[in-house]
Chains A and B, each alone.
Chain A
Amino acid sequence: METSIMIGIRKEDDDMPILEAHKIHKSYGNKFNRQEVLKGIDIQVDKGELVGIMGASGSGKTTLLNVLSSIDSVSQGKIRIEGKEFTNMKDKQLAEFRKHHLGFIFQDYNLLDTLTVKENIMLPLTIKKVPRIHAQKLFESVAKDLGIYEVKDKYPNEISGGQKQRTSAARAFVHEPSIIFADEPTGALDSKAASDLLNKLSDLNQRREATIVMVTHDPLAASYCNRVIFIKDGQIFTQLHKGEETRQTFFNDIIKTQGVLGGVNDEH
């Protein structure tokens, strides 16, 4: 089953983006007290891209990521991943969709306390009913890539924050999803652990051609991306492409744009 998906991706590599969002709107509240958080956003992400999303606090980054990743529903608009539109799928179909196409990394790790590192990482494989032997191989390769093979039998409360986040990343990569969503993956890490993780992520991004969409506050984290999208007031403010620049110059560009954008979103 996997191989067929892989082949499918390769074939349509060039002409079809992995993620395609068209005019998405998202509002919270009821008829009388309505807050529109996303106001018509268009996004395309191609295969193998590492895309950053930045913006002031409260600008709607998490909301955007949640709707893109099918965890929250949109009020208006269409989202397609690998050509499959899921904006009007039922709960069960969505779950099915997530388990085959999506991977997640969260700021606060989101590991199950009751499971060991290995068991946590293998969860997506069990859901997909990947055969045991194959699952074992997938686990070993990703755990070694991320440098957590040594702690595989420990429980989350026995390992460091950086190790937890790498475990979370391993869980996102292990089943080779079409796209991985990360919400401030470095938010809870110190700068050493953060750059450690970012190096690993961009490494995996290149070697496995994994597509990653990452929300972040941190310009350093953003500088690892191929492209950074800035959100303001629920709309795309601007985009920066890394192109052939070095990471340092890209980092400087990002800082500048942030300055233009302003620190905190003013609440009206």
Chain B
Amino acid sequence: MMSINQLILRNLKKNLKNYYLYVFALIFSVALYFAFVTLQYDPAMDEAEGSIKGAAAIRAGSVLLIAIVTVFLVYANNLFIKRRSKEIGLFQLVGMTKHKIFGILSIENIILYFSSMLVGIFLGFASSKLIMMILIKIIGIEEVAELRFSNEAFVQTIVVFAVIYIIIMIMNGLFIRRQRILSLFQVSSTTEEKQIRVTKWQIVVGIFGLGLIAFGYYLSTELFSGNIVTMGALFLTMITILASVIIGTYLFYKGSISFLFNLIRNRNNGYLSINNVLSLSSIMFRMKSNALLLTVITVLSALAIGLLSLTYISYFSAEKTAEENIVYDYSIPNLNNAALFTEALEVADIDYTETTLDIVNVSANLSNIIQEMEGVELEFDVSMTNMVIASDGWVENLDLAESDTVFVNTNEAMMQFIRLKESGEILLSGETTSFELNYLGHEDVRVLPFRFANGGFPVAVVDETVYQQLKANLDPESQGEFRQHVGIDIENLDDLQEAEAIFQASGIGSWTAHESQLQVINNQKQSMGMMMFIAGFLGLTFLITSGCILYFKQMDEGEEEKASYTILRKLGFTREDLLNGIKVKQVFNFGIPLIVGISHGYFAVKSGWFFFGTELVYPMMIVIVLYALLYSIFGILSVLYYKKIIKEAL
């Protein structure tokens, strides 16, 4: 007679092969979480945390991480326990109580779970060193990473995963309670509820889902359009967007895809090609559970793409923003200070060019060319607003007639709220004289740092003679704090570091509005670094977990369908035939959530990207392409897995 302990041990050994997926999921999750928490508790982080209130960000990140890890582990456990339902039925058949079975499973699980956890913690510790080095490189903290094993991180990890363990055990308990001996005799494929018949209802459901998604997208474009002002309303709108897009996605999968597939299928009238057999009918067969899973994957992908895009947008834009904002290598709105700096440059034998401009504010009537945007309330009077003017002599390749004007110095974020017409008349007035000018459009040129041009408001370029007349007639009331601006560009890139040292040493930078572009870029990167790191970390986690979940699901399906492959091969389908069908299926399985996820991510990013940077398309494209590439690795892995199954099938 075998004792319970022996039974447990034997089971454990026998199941280790089945367990490897689960073990992998566990180790991966623990390592990820531990690495994250270790970084959180590392002293080297204090600087970063202090500088940008990164502590809150990192805490929010860790909550999100726990949520995703929990979902991931619960899913992996479910798959795993499903595979063992026969075994559980067998135990029951030989007279073991459900209580006892639960006991055996729990002990088995404890051994496995906590030993994987230790491995995970070790791996997490090792990788956190690596991550720290990357992080330091991004943020530019000079301190050398000297990671210590953090007890706090250790305890926190243990606590979090112990809680997850309890959740998993509750799920297992429920599963065993539901388990009937009968299931022993049923094929494993019937444990999953399946949706076979497609009803008219689904068309309605599918269209309703699409409607919800569209509504969510619409709301997202409204989010920062200026319509929604109070914090509460903003929050409410965000929740509504999230809910309607997520629910819409689920209904879309549940309804539309089944419906569409069914349409194709009915049209074939029984004559299904192998590709259809392996993709269409197989996906439809599991649409009910697939719909939920695909929704989870889609949301994860959208989140990851959104986070990574915003991150990359800010990083990518850091230099561009600084260049747009400062325009020159050095911006000094004071002639004396500028002279001090240029003298020092000359002493150091550094070549430079100096651009001295007078900052002239006039009163502008733009009511003819500013297009009213629905719902946007402008905070200035369009018929009488302050505007800086520039001479056409300052802009290369521009020679305007006396009656014309062109706008420059526009800023992307500002342009979200002001829409300019193609052409029209504007009126520029000094104290007494006024000029009516033809507005010819705006050009992507910068002449002045934003802060001297009313914070990114366009600058009107006029003919030199008009400029001189307005300058002579300026209204002292409407002039800003600074009347002159000296822009200094260093001729030779190699000299820039030396020039920067001189600038810092001179202390000119401590005056208001005296700025070095290099320093602004560095500040920007440093303050973005922490956010970038957290967003990047979470984004990658989402990518890997969603890929893994899909892959696991495919492994599961593959095992379930193995018998079908045997039949098909007996009927005379070759391995290639089957594999091609599988490839089509994987294109759907991985492709649909990817495309929908990209679309969701795009709208999410589009709604508020301008808070993060100045360039949307390029960074987002890069992120999407990279994401799709990394993501398809999981698709390829699953095809390889299927290849093995197909080979073994006969």
Contact = CB atoms under 8 A, between A and B. Distances in A.
The yes or no verdict on A and B being binding partners is yes
Interface string B264-296: 000001111110010001101100000000000
A119 B277 contact: yes
B573 interface: yes
Q: Is the interface of B mostly helix, strand, loop or mixed?
A: helix
Contacts of A96: 572, 574
Interface size class of B (residues with CB under 8 A): 20 to 34
B281 A115 contact: yes
A127 B269 contact: no
A99 B284 CA distance: 27
A130 to B, nearest CB: 9
Contact of A92 (B269, B566, B574): B574
B400 to A, nearest CB: 71
Nearest to B283: A114
Contact of B271 (A102, A126, A155): A126
Interface stretch (A77-85, A132-140, A197-205): A132-140
B569 interface: yes
Interface residues of A, number: 35
A95 B273 contact: no
Contacts of B281: 112, 114-115, 119
A61 interface: no
* Residues of A contacting B: mostly: helix
Contact of A95 (B189, B269, B572): B572
B650 interface: yes
A114 B271 contact: no
B272 A115 contact: yes
Contact of A98 (B271, B285, B572, B577): B572
Contacts of A98: 570-572
Interface string B107-148: 000000000000000000000000000000000000000000
Contact of B189 (A92, A113, A118, A126): A113
Interface string A106-132: 000011111110110111111100001
A71 interface: yes
Given A95-B573, A99-B571, A157-B190, A114 B270 contact: no
Interface in B418-471: none
Interface string A149-161: 0001001010000
Contacts, number: 84
A91 interface: yes
B572 A116 contact: no
Interface string B573-602: 111110000000000000000000000000
Contacts of A71: 570, 650
Contacts of B573: 95, 99, 127
A124 B564 contact: no
A108 to B, nearest CB: 9
A250 interface: no
Contacts of A122: 270-272
A135 B271 contact: yes
A114 B571 contact: no
A173 interface: no
B270 A104 contact: no
B647 to A, nearest CB: 10
Nearest to A99: B572
B567 interface: yes
Contacts of A115: 272, 277, 281
B196 interface: yes
A104 B274 contact: no
14 contacts: A95-B569, A95-B574, A96-B572, A100-B572, A102-B572, A112-B564, A115-B272, A126-B271, A126-B272, A127-B577, A132-B269, A136-B269, A136-B271, A157-B190
Interface of B: 189-190, 196, 269-274, 277, 281-282, 284-285, 561, 563-564, 566-577, 650
Report, nearest first, the 8 A-B pairs whose CB atoms are least far apart: A99-B572, A98-B572, A118-B270, A114-B285, A95-B574, A114-B281, A110-B567, A112-B564
Given A114-B277, A115-B277, 12 more contacts: A71-B570, A99-B572, A112-B277, A112-B281, A112-B568, A114-B282, A114-B285, A115-B281, A116-B270, A121-B270, A127-B577, A135-B271
